[in-house]
Chain A
Amino acid sequence: DIQMTQSPSSLSVSVGDRVFVTCRASQSISRYLNWYQQKPGKAPKLLISVASVLQGGVPSRFSGSGSGTDFTLTISSLQPEDLATYYCQQSYSIPRTFGQGTKVEIK
């Protein structure tokens, strides 16, 4: 199974800050990496597919980059509504595996 490791596990940032969340795969997954946002009490929501493709309706302050084993989710200017936990997930192989999540809190 491919292990996905995210860092940090949590971060506390101010509105307007730039946020970086990293995700590392235990083997190369090309660009088959998706990012999800989960707000408290809600189902996950797809933000970015194939490492960098922003889904429709997702604000442009979100972006994704990377390939192989190392990936990054960037929020260019954090907004209050971005309070959530963010998960990476590989779609390179079965079983699908998720990172452990990064909880973003607002200072």
Chain B
Amino acid sequence: QVQLVQSGAEVEKPGASVKVSCKASGYTFTDYYLHWVRQAPGQGLEWMGWINPKSGDTKYGQKFQDWVTMTRDMSISTGYMELKRLTSDDTAVYYCARETGGAVAYMDVWGTGTTVTVSS
């Protein structure tokens, strides 16, 4: 079935980087955009950016412009989100989600979520 399976929980120190993976199955990876959304403890959903898996083009939220990188490996239908220079404010659950794109766009499949904890 269609699913997005993410990598496991991470614990990192402040100043470090983290790279989260999102493996797609059950559909053609390049037919859908891949978004990244995070959720801090007890908070709402925050959009981080997206990648077009076919072209590799990316668009990041202004807040994340200088410290997030989204990439993909089409050969294994996997997207990646790397966040640099971590602080305690980056402690959150990180989700990938596919989006239909086009004029009518919605995130219809979400990943399993990856908990990232930043602590010294």
Contact = CB atoms under 8 A, between A and B. Distances in A.
A in complex with B: yes
B44 interface: yes
B110 A98 contact: no
Interface residues of A, number: 23
Interface in B94-120: 95, 97, 99, 104-108, 110-113
Nearest to A92: B105
Interface size class of B (residues with CB under 8 A): 20 to 34
A100 to B, nearest CB: 5
A46 B107 contact: yes
Given A32-B105, A43-B95, A97 B110 contact: no
B107 A98 contact: no
Given A46-B106, A49-B104, A97 B111 contact: no
Task: Label chain A's interface by main secondary structure.
Answer: loop
Nearest to A34: B106
Interface in A83-107: 87, 89, 91, 94-101
Given A43-B112, A43-B113, A97 B107 contact: no
Interface hub of B45, B49, B104, B112 (most chain A Cβ within 10 A): B45
Nearest to B60: A95
B62 A95 contact: yes
A32 B38 CA distance: 21
Interface string A7-34: 0000000000000000000000000101
Contact of A101 (B35, B45, B106): B45
A21 B97 CA distance: 24
A102 B50 CA distance: 25
A61 interface: no
Interface of A: 1, 32, 34, 36, 38, 43-46, 49-50, 55, 87, 89, 91, 94-101
Q: Closest 3 A-B residue pairs measured CB to CB?
A: A43-B110, A49-B106, A91-B105
Interface of B: 35, 37, 44-47, 49-50, 59, 61-62, 95, 97, 99, 104-108, 110-113
